[in-house]
Structure 1
Amino acid sequence: MFPVKAAAELSGLTPETLRAWERRHDAVVPHRDAKGRRLYDSAMVERLARLHRLTARGHPIRDLARLDDAALERLADEARSAGYGGVEALPERMLDAVADYRVDEFDRDLSVAIATLPVPILVNRVVMPLLREVGVRWADGRLAIAQERLVSSLLRARLLSILNQHPREQRPRILFATLPGEPHELGLLGAALQAHEAGAPVLYLGTELPAVELLRVVERLEASAVALSSIDPGQARAALEQLHLLDAGLPGDVPVWLGGANARYLVEALGVERIRLVTDPATLARLVRRRAGRGRR
């Protein structure tokens, strides 16, 4: 249960707005403690956060407040997908610019996309298709190694700027990293952005972090969850060893979310309850909101 101030902070609202939505529109009906003070559970906080995101996209609260949670989620999905029909052509245009060493054009298109697109659209319809096309063009010789690294460098710098632009100080944090021998991070960065958009305080630790270092950060910061990416099959055995160490050292209530090309094999090979396969944005967002809403209970 959360008091008004905490519920407002977790959902991105001011306490005044929360009270107004409750009083005028019955957006949520809070519980009451023995002294009559309002208390909000994690489901209410998630609903308020969803209402906040939808009103930010122009939907009136008077219309939204009448909808149940399932209808709000459908509306959020439609809002994320609508109005961005020209986005599909953007990754190919950006790679054509890199192939011709028109770096300023690539960077300008990327900057505009970051400034104008919601994070789910940016990640799912620009960044991820861009990475897939980079792989295809590198494999068939249309992109040189230097061009591939140029794309990776620019993407990394710009995506990190989103995470660093509005740091979230409230705890618990969700840690994002790769294990030793895993230098590829753009997919991990995309996942961190999805978690950030879902309202979680994210701490992005980057690549090739040993389990012992992750455990130290979790302990010092009382982190809520650890999200890891593994894509190199040659690192599978080492990854299993590191994950065993992580499982043995983590507090019992801290989950490990594993994504990347190796994730399914690693999760099945380990058979550990806390280590969960997470490969799609919807599952990640749901888990993030659950952890953000309830802390480390």
Structure 2
Amino acid sequence: MYIAPMFPVKATAELTGLTPETLRAWERRHAAVVPHRDEAGRRLYDAAMVDRLCHLHRLTARGHPIRDLAALDSAALERLAAESRDTGYGGLDALPGRMLDAIADYRIDEFDRDLSVSIATLPVTVLVSRVVSPLLREVGVRWADGRLAIAQERLVSSLLRARLMSVLTQQPGAARPRVLFATLPGEPHELGLLGAALHAHEAGASVLYLGTGLPAEELATVAGRLDAAAVAVSSIDPGQAIPAVAELRALDAALAAHVPVWLGGANARYLAEAVGSVRMQAVVDPAALTGLIRRRAAARRPSR
């Protein structure tokens, strides 16, 4: 007989990103959820409550008062979350171009201010899809047609990395599935990897970002010592595709059998096919990455 998992206060706080104090306040003042109780009177939360609390947390972070949200059912919260993602960000279309204009004129403080405000005010999905990804595409266009010098491109990379890493180091959670993010030796391009790590963070993973140029054996060692739920590897440079196949075969041999490898970047599909391991999967869609992380999280939750 299947018994649905129940989560105590500490685990629920880890899964939702809320503090135990906030959970208690939302329950007592707003009846946002009504937890179950065990024989000793301790509060327990089922999976539907955890999902609801995640929605409430994200919506309050976007400025919606909890007093207005608490009375809404799950369907209404999902609709509001979708509306928040799709509307209210009309001014963003011009932002990446304006930021690169600032870099072209060496107005670094202006670029950094716009980036910092975006990170502080936008949901991660909007930040990546409407600011970071268009910015990276425009960097490539301007570099190709000579409007952006190599030094200016590196300024963009340096500033983006510094600010985006500040997001990835927030709210680490031991109860969340740990996912390692890295590139292999010879692959210095990491901005796409950072974008994928941001999506994973938003989906509920505990992101361990290892950066560029990590040999396969070391990656497998770290994954084993830290009990990683998955390893994510990005490969973009066409010239590195063949060396990457050898590295990935070494990773496949060294990694624990239960740990999947998710491949991203322009070379992902080629590498997955060339290596031919059942554990290696090309993941080029943020929605697919989100789904994989949520399934890993569900598989690691305790049952009763």
Normalising TM by the smaller chain, what interval?
A: 0.7 to 0.9
1:148 aligned residue (139, 145, 153) = 153
Q: In structure 2, what is the Cα distance between the partners aligned to 1:22 and 1:104?
A: 43
Partner of 2:74: 67
1:202-233 residue CA offsets vs partner (Å, 9 max, x unmatched): 11000011110111111111111111111011
Partner of 1:271: 276
Q: Give the 5 Å matches for 1:94-243.
A: 94-164=99-169, 166-171=170-175, 172-243=177-248
TM-score (norm 1): 0.86
Letter in 1 for 2:211: G
What's the CA shift for 1:18? 5.4
Answer yes or no: is 1:284 the counterpart of 2:292.
no
Please say if residues 35 and 44 of structure 2, whose CA atoms lie closer than 8 Å, have aligned partners that are also in contact.
no
Aligned residues with identical type, % of pairs:
69
Q: Give the 5 Å matches for 1:75-90.
A: 75-90=80-95
Secondary structure of the 1:261 match is coil
Bigger shift: residues 1-10 or 191-200 = 1-10
Please say if residues 46 and 293 of structure 1, whose CA atoms lie closer than 8 Å, have aligned partners that are also in contact.
no
Q: In structure 2, what is the Cα distance between the partners aligned to 1:230 and 1:271?
A: 16
Secondary structure of the 2:181 match is strand
1:3 aligned residue (4, 7, 11) = 7
Letter in 1 for 2:74: L
**Which ranges of structure 1 fall in alignment gaps of 5 or more residues?**
none
Taking a change above 3 Å as real, the CA distance of residues 45 and 128 of structure 1, as seen in their structure-2 partners, is same
1:33-85 residue CA offsets vs partner (Å, 9 max, x unmatched): 89998765656534432343234431634443x234xx654542321222111
Number of aligned residues: 292
What's the CA shift for 1:21? 7.1
1:241-281 residue CA offsets vs partner (Å, 9 max, x unmatched): 11122222222321111111111111222332221221122
Secondary structure of the 1:174 match is strand
Q: In structure 2, what is the Cα distance between the partners aligned to 1:251 and 1:44?
A: 33
Q: In structure 1, what is the Cα distance between the partners aligned to 2:298 and 2:22?
A: 19
Taking a change above 3 Å as real, the CA distance of residues 100 and 61 of structure 1, as seen in their structure-2 partners, is closer
Please say if residues 97 and 138 of structure 2, whose CA atoms lie closer than 8 Å, have aligned partners that are also in contact.
yes
Q: In structure 1, what is the Cα distance between the partners aligned to 2:49 and 2:259?
A: 23
1:115-137 residue CA offsets vs partner (Å, 9 max, x unmatched): 22222111111111011001001
Please say if residues 196 and 286 of structure 2, whose CA atoms lie closer than 8 Å, have aligned partners that are also in contact.
yes
Bigger shift: residues 245-254 or 120-129 = 245-254
Q: In structure 2, what is the Cα distance between the partners aligned to 1:50 and 1:273?
A: 34
**Which ranges of structure 2 fall in alignment gaps of 5 or more residues?**
none
1:85-109 residue CA offsets vs partner (Å, 9 max, x unmatched): 1011011011111112222221222
Taking a change above 3 Å as real, the CA distance of residues 234 and 53 of structure 1, as seen in their structure-2 partners, is same
Bigger shift: residues 6-15 or 272-281 = 6-15
Q: In structure 2, what is the Cα distance between the partners aligned to 1:258 and 1:41?
A: 33
What's the CA shift for 1:239? 1.1
Secondary structure of the 1:276 match is strand
Taking a change above 3 Å as real, the CA distance of residues 78 and 279 of structure 1, as seen in their structure-2 partners, is farther
Bigger shift: residues 36-45 or 191-200 = 36-45
What's the CA shift for 1:167? 4.5
Letter in 1 for 2:172: R
Partner of 1:245: 250
